[in-house]
Structure 1
């Protein structure tokens, strides 16, 4: 997960979900910093998973770290259009994310990853278990995410889309 430790990001939900999956082989790397980091660290201790949770702080090597991951998670309570999901898709990772804001514009549920209802611990845990248990599904969704990124979200495509909006606005007559 790449996210600032702040209320909207809800790291606690991810930690609770993972605490219920202790029989499975996982480790999580939390990239970012912020005012709630110490709370998340304390929660990981309380849940008995601190040895499997790596708090690595703000990083400049996010792309390299994502390239070493197997799953990307974003458990936000609200979002606009999170660029971290696009970075994960570029890295070929399946995405498990809260279905908030513009997340569904990037993640196709069941194809490039899974969308879960905001705050739904059981749905998050279930989808994480599904991906942890199934390397083939991870690869399949990761490849689909990478293809979706290349087809819709490269810098050139995004700039072209923004330019088209500006051109449309400028051509519109105002009366």
Structure 2
């Protein structure tokens, strides 16, 4: 019988794709019988109610007066080592090279008893931080000192190798969707709050950073709404929000755009939409497109980063060059005005999400990596994932 593991997980616990994936993975691993210990500065927002086999360890930072800034990284490394010792952890799985993989490296040195570490690269640690020459060596160290490294897309693996001259193996482990959570919901009772019966709903969900090109979202919607009666729902918050509000006012679209802010029940919100808009200029994977796919909502997006690995062009959505809002709008209008094509895309979305990116399959891939790193034999049958 395969021994169950004690796994420490560190991630950013607030809103963000990496934190969502790390938290959902921890919950799935716990369902499989592993003991999961989250080591973060606050409870991950997707953790929710009590879960058997899941424990939370808060990282507290001492604001010692000689430090200009509270030394979170050092406190995290110390807490990792402490939890590893007290709970007899087999492995630390950290999400993001900076700072978490570096902290895990320090924790290994403190612990000194063969503690293993797995690092998952999600994107920003490579696409943004690795552009900073002052951080490159630190990121290389974090990657080289990890016992295994995973990345969420082939494109991210390519960029990691090119930017950092990394030759060590990197496992491709796509993000996943839990079909028990992400499925088409019946939102007929709520849809009327945002759109008339003859109107379509377009949606964008993000943290409203410049790389998300939310201005392009507005331009796509403006173009679509000239031909298709529609409304736009914007979900999330971030630094670009004020600028986008001004853009909407200047275009005279105030009555056609709804701001929903941050939402916890993402599947319920996505199910309101007819199309998801994702025109990003950088996107290592595009988790929101996968979540939309699970809910049967096609994506209109860009060819940035890992999006083409997720969205099958002409089957589960349409992809255009970054910034080509005219082409994106034409594709959106084409889908929204062709019910037969739309229904085909909707079915293909669910099939692809539940088949290629199902939670059982990706969780099993992570388990194989853990056992490989630990040098343990494990009987892990491949789950049957079907759309």
Of residues 40, 50, 56 in structure 1, which corresponds to 2:244?
40
1:138 and 1:169 map into 2 onto residues whose CA distance is 44
Deviations 1:36-70 (A, max 9, x none): 11111110111122211111111112110111211
Structure 2: which 5+ residue stretches go unaligned? 1-203, 376-387
Equivalenced residues, count: 171
TM-score, with normalisation over the residues of structure 1? 0.90
Corresponding residue for 1:18?
Answer: 221
Residues 168 and 100 of structure 1, relative CA distance in 2, 3 Å threshold: farther
- Between 1:113-122 and 1:20-29, the stretch displaced more is 20-29
RMSD after superposition = 1.7
Q: Is it true that 1:3 corresponds to 2:245 in the alignment? A: no
- Between 1:110-119 and 1:125-134, the stretch displaced more is 125-134
Q: Is it true that 1:114 corresponds to 2:300 in the alignment? A: no
Q: Which has the higher contact order (CA 8 A, sep 6+)?
A: 1
Corresponding residue for 2:295?
Answer: 91
* 1:95–1:107 contact (8 Å) kept in structure 2: yes
1:73 and 1:43 map into 2 onto residues whose CA distance is 17
Structure exhibiting the larger radius of gyration computed from Cα positions: 2
1:96 and 1:108 map into 2 onto residues whose CA distance is 11
How much has 1:162 moved relative to structure 2?
3.2
Q: Specify which structure has the higher proportion of helix.
A: 1
SS of the residue corresponding to residue 73 of structure 1 reads strand
Corresponding residue for 1:124?
Answer: 328
TM-score, with normalisation over the residues of structure 2? 0.42
Residues 100 and 164 of structure 1, relative CA distance in 2, 3 Å threshold: farther
